[in-house]
Amino acid sequence: MPWMRLLLYWTLPLTVAGTCYVAQSETIRRAVIAVVSQTSQVGCQMLCTADANCQATVLNASGTACVHLGAPVADPATNVCPATATVYVKTETNCGAIPQGRIGDGYTPGECSRPTDVIGDLATDQSSPPCGTPPASQQRIVIDAIQHDGTHITLENYNIGVAVWDAQVGSWYIDLVDTPTRYYFKWAKCVLAPVTPLTPNCACAPLPTEPATAGYSNPSAPVMNTDSCCTSAYTQMSYLRVGDPSTFQSPNRIISCTMGVWMMIRTNAYNAFALSAATCVD
């Protein structure tokens, strides 16, 4: 597992720039600055990296929560713990480069897909889109990723997105390029999303519409699973993850619920975007 590699390869001579974590036993009492739901060391450490006040991490005894620790307590009367604990201390020096893991080895389908829906592995050479450009019969393809807390996340097969190995923490992530957010995961596969949701949790909530933006009029709801998604000339879209809201000509666009996420699929020059809202306008 990635967090095990984090320990096994810590002393390798190859290093990478950035933040990493050193496991050390200590009796230092540190300030608790956050307790978050997380079941893996890698996930715990990624959250700590994003918090400038977090100096170390530890999982609780049951392995269900990540504790973010701050600076050591200054008071000498209370700054020593009664028992030794292993904590992972944040550092930016001598970070060992963790060898690249196999992207799909531990993958198993979640409740929203079946083994027969799996198309194959993501590209690991940073080519895009990560699942390739699919034929017309497979344009409902998505990235089904298992995150470090064991939950699945459905990501778009964005045409300039790439899968990248983070050698600092020993984890893959999807870089959607147009957003600073990295979507870290343990394993992932390219999956052809079922047309009909397999469980209620895999269905999509109604897709919101929005008022027409300046220069457009007559807002109305799009038609799902139909090319074109709007009978009007234009479709106005807000994206869940990438880019600013935009308006495009309606032909050659399908909006469909894919494993719990509304996805806009461009059919003539393939691309896919997760949506937060869509509106037909004139």
Per the structure, the complete domain to which residue 255 belongs is given by 200-281
Helix (H) or strand (E) holding 237, with range, is strand 234-239
In the structure, what pLDDT confidence band is assigned to residue 17 with cuts at 50, 70 and 90? low
Residue 172 lies in a domain: yes
Amino acid at residue number 142: V
Residue 15 scores a pLDDT above 80: no
Residues 188 and 204 in one domain: no
Question: Which carries the bigger pLDDT value, residue 270 or residue 16?
Answer: 270
Residues 86 and 141 in one domain: no
Q: Which of 145, 174, 192 is the last residue of a domain?
A: 192
Residues 188 and 216 in one domain: no
Residues 185 and 214 in one domain: no
Residue 174 scores a pLDDT above 60: yes
Average pLDDT over residues 131-144: 95
Per the structure, the count of domains in the chain is 3
Q: Which of 192, 223, 252 is the last residue of a domain?
A: 192
Residues 38 and 64 in one domain: yes
Residue 101 lies in a domain: no
- CATH code: domain of residue 27: 3.50.4
pLDDT tens sequence across 179-204: 778 888 999 999 999 999 999 999 99
pLDDT at 120: 95
Q: Which two tokens stand for residue 50?
A: 């994003």
Residues 183 and 250 in one domain: no
The DSSP result for 111-154, as a single string, is: TT--GGGEEEPPPSSS-SSTT----GGGTTEEEEEE-TTS-EEE
Other CB atoms within 10 Å distance of the CB of residue 261: 21
Q: Report percent pLDDT > 70 for the chain.
A: 94
pLDDT tens sequence across 28-43: 889 999 998 887 888 8
